[in-house]
Amino acid sequence: MDALLEKGRNATATLWPAITQAYGWVHQAAELVANAAGRSSLQVRHALRSLLYALRQAQAELGPLAGAVTHCRAVSFSHGPYLFPCDETPDVPRSNNAVEQCFASARYHARRASGRLSGAPF
């Protein structure tokens, strides 16, 4: 088993520096969006855009992960306008996980009660 792990480690050794750097960026973006510091929506947007710009600048250094950076930037820019309403309006919750869980539970019970494979069209 140790020989297999060593072989895998050696085969992927060139990828680890890029993975480590990308992992740091993911955590940095998560901290920005979580907004524990209580900054304004505009400040958080600016900080996230700065991080995405830094990603683009360092993209060439990531080798095989460069495509992941392109995808991450594209998704971030397309979802950008929808990330921050909870920071702008106090009554908007940070996530809708509880609501989604409620709907999923209702669909599950509707399928069980009716014997249908898919949920009711309501």
Q: Tell me the per-residue pLDDT of 18-45, one tens digit each, with 9 for 90 and over.
A: 888 888 888 998 888 888 888 887 888 8
CB atoms within 10 A of CB 94: 11
Domain tally, the chain: 2
Q: Is the pLDDT of residue 69 over 80?
A: yes
Residue showing tokens 């088993």: 1
Range of the domain at 107: 95-122
* Same domain, residue pair 73 and 23: yes
What is the reported pTM? 0.62
CB-CB contact of 65 with 18 (8 Å): yes
* Same domain, residue pair 69 and 108: no
* Same domain, residue pair 23 and 71: yes
* Same domain, residue pair 14 and 52: yes
Query: C-alpha 9: how far from its chain's center?
Result: 27
Q: 3-state DSSP call for residue 99?
A: helix
User: Is residue 119 very low, low, confident or very high in pLDDT (cuts 50, 70, 90)?
Assistant: low
* Same domain, residue pair 85 and 105: no
Torsion of Cα atoms, 58 then 59 then 60 then 62, to 10°: 100
* Same domain, residue pair 58 and 31: yes
Q: Is the pLDDT of residue 56 over 90?
A: no
Amino acid 45: pLDDT: 85
Amino acid 94: pLDDT: 64
